[in-house]
């Protein structure tokens, strides 16, 4: 089972990366772009991006610096908290995101969901939630749900 799990994991990861190949963004970029594209004003505080992605502040900061250099996002000060930084998606960043998103969803469907029958989808959901919960991973990586 462990071997099967490892191969499945690698297969899915490779498929997702490959699909993103020609879009000009990486899987890591995508993790930041998606919450931004869905957020009000296409902008979020760095803090919220961190809890959304589950990354630490340092990683977020480095990632944002690189994305800012590429013109995907901008950074501005937060009005009511002088410590904070607002991250805003540029038009370019937004366009790239909406262009890339369907492909990622389609890939998950193609390499995973479509291969499973409804019972198996339930099984994988059950297993995944139990394993994550037992390890202390709450059901909610998203800010709104905390």
* Residues making contact with a copy of itself (CB under 8 A): 1-5, 7-12, 14-15, 54, 108, 111-113, 115-116, 120-121, 123-132, 134-137, 139, 141
What ranges in the chain are assigned the alpha helix state H?
2-20, 27-38, 46-53, 57-69, 91-111, 118-134
Tokens for 142? 């998203």
C-alpha distance from residue 105 to each of 9, 47, 67, 96 (Å): 16, 26, 22, 15
56 is in the binding site of which of DNA, a copy of itself, none (Cβ under 5 to 8 A by kind)? DNA
Distance (Å, whole) CA 73 – CA 8: 33
Q: Which of 81, 95, 106, 122 binds DNA (CB under 7 A)?
A: 81
Which residue stretch of 57-65, 93-101, 106-114, 136-144 sits at the interface with DNA (rule: CB under 7 A)?
A: 57-65
> What is the Cα–Cα distance from 112 to 8, expressed in whole angstroms?
9
Residue 103 contact partner, candidates a copy of itself, DNA, none, CB within 5 to 8 A by sort of partner = none
Longest dimension (CA), the chain: 52
85 forms part of the interface with DNA (CB under 7 A): yes
Q: Which is nearer to a copy of itself, 27 or 92 (CB)?
A: 27
Enumerate residues 16-35 that contact DNA by CB under 7 A: 26, 28-29
């Amino acid at each position: 089972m462990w071997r099967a799990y490892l191969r499945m994991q690698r297969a899915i990861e490779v498929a997702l990366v490959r699909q993103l190949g020609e879009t000009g963004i990486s899987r890591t970029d995508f993790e930041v772009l998606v919450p931004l594209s869905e957020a009000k004003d296409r902008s979020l505080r760095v803090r919220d991006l961190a809890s959304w992605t589950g990354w630490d502040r340092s990683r977020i900061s480095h990632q944002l610096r690189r994305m800012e250099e590429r013109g995907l996002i901008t950074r501005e000060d937060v009005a009511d908290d002088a410590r904070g930084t607002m991250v805003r998606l540029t038009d370019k960043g937004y366009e790239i995101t909406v262009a890339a998103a369907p492909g990622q969803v389609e890939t998950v469907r193609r390499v995973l969901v479509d291969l499973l029958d409804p019972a198996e989808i339930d099984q994988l959901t059950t297993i995944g939630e139990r394993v994550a919960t037992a390890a202390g991973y709450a059901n909610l990586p998203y800010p709104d749900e905390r």
